[in-house]
Amino acid sequence: MTSSFPPRLGETLVEAWVPVQDDGTTMENVSPRYVNFASVLDPQTRAQNLKTASMPLIYPHLASMPDAHLGKGAAVGSVIPTLGAIIPAAVGVDIGCGMIAVRTQFSVGDLERLDRKILRQSIERAIPLSAGHNNKRIVDSAEPRVERLAREADSAGFDPASYSKQWALQLGSLGSGNHFIEVSLDENDDVWLFLHSGSRGVGNKIAQRHIRVALEQCRKRNITLPDNDLAYLTEGDDEFEEYIRQLRWAQDFALLNREEMMDRVIHCVTQWAGRAVQERERINCHHNYTAQETHYGKQVWLSRKGAIDASEGRPGLIPGSMGTASYVVEGLGFAPSLNSAPHGAGREYSRSAARRTFTRDQLRQAMRGIEYRDTDAFIDEIPAAYKDIDVVMEDARDLVRVRHTLRQIVNVKGD
């Protein structure tokens, strides 16, 4: 029995529309509509991906990245193409989260006599860290970005203050968890500035609201879902259009948030080194977002929840965990991955499990040679709580080409 195409929302799909064949790559066909690139994948995450892939609006298939792990509704490290609808929880609650990196003119020899602790502390003063910590005022560098976002919100027909009264003060703040700011060296000992953050509290609240609205819409239509967090909004409905407008705003907020923080880091490095930073290259990429793309002959809403765009020739960033390597990459445009690649190492231990398992001394050992704030707060970010980034990158060998391998010398994080 073959279902109609395109599938009706709420219909059970029996066959895949596009079969994907194994061809000696790292790809595993778990089911006709679920392609996996992770050699290390726990049973719960595999089951979660199968559940998501069973939804009739998925076309042509869900792609699970090498760093995939359990998430809300849909697994983190998933690439989820949908026809005529979007699953807000499949975008994630940190809309637009991603990475930015700048290659400078400095080499390690330019910095070896300088005290890295002074730089770390300077960055910690310049950028608010941790959840709930915002700027006290809108600084000069942030002002034009805030004005741009205010105009975009007005065009999108909403007031960001309805989600967070202090949204403008959140621009240029890091957050907590696995968000970080780093100074790193590549294989040539060239100095890179590297950071990870998203749309902060305002983006989270936008996401949470539309996840609730999607569930309300599915209940009104008596649609049976495999998981309530897989509720979707249907293209053409007012609720869908409102979500898209606010989603795009939050994605731009996240991108500008990273740009603002990077400019402040550059200022700190300039003062520390006594010479102005010259940018040789800048890469800024999302890894929690939705975009309209064409795959296997159809235009879809492609949600990358913990994945980067790895279209052919596209530059990207794949960070390791705290204390391990990160990578500057170039996409290979591998079609079965939906032109996507992993966004990092991916957790193996939950935060609570990591705190029960590892110690501060083990974290100190893992961070030997790296300037960082030595505190119990970062035990759950220890590299051993994450997948081995070398394994992740080997699994991604058909998805990206490595341009540079980075090793940290300074790390800044929020509690």
pLDDT in tens, 159-197: 999 999 999 999 999 999 999 999 999 999 999 999 999
Q: What is the pLDDT of residues 302-356, one digit of tens each?
A: 999 999 999 999 999 999 999 999 999 999 999 999 999 999 998 999 999 999 9
How does residue 16 score in pLDDT terms, banded at 50, 70 and 90?
very low
Residue 157 lies in a domain: yes
Which run of H or E residues covers position 219? helix 200-220
At residue 389, φ and ψ (nearest 5 deg) are -60, -30
Residue 5 lies in a domain: no
Contact by Cβ (8 Å): 246, 239: no
Please state the pTM of the whole predicted model. 0.93
Please report the pLDDT score of residue 12 as a whole number: 33
- Find the CATH number of the domain harbouring 129: 3.90.1860.10
Please report the pLDDT score of residue 24 as a whole number: 58
Please report the pLDDT score of residue 131 as a whole number: 87
Host domain of residue 33: 28-84+97-413
Report whether pLDDT(15) > 90: no
Question: DSSP letter at 83?
Answer: S
- Report the chain's mean pLDDT, rounded to a whole number: 93
Please report the pLDDT score of residue 23 as a whole number: 54
Residue 11 lies in a domain: no
Q: What is the pLDDT of residues 211-241, one digit of tens each?
A: 999 999 999 999 999 999 999 999 999 999 9
Number of domains, the chain: 1
Residue 8 lies in a domain: no
Query: Distance of alpha carbon 280 from its chain centroid, rounded?
Result: 24
Question: pLDDT > 90: what percent of the chain?
Answer: 91
Residue 232 lies in a domain: yes
- Cite the active site residues: 343
- d(Cα 79, Cα 308) in Å, to the nearest integer? 9
Nearest to 247 by CA among 352, 366, 158: 158
Residue 178 lies in a domain: yes
Residue 14 lies in a domain: no
Residue 76 lies in a domain: yes
Report whether pLDDT(279) > 70: yes
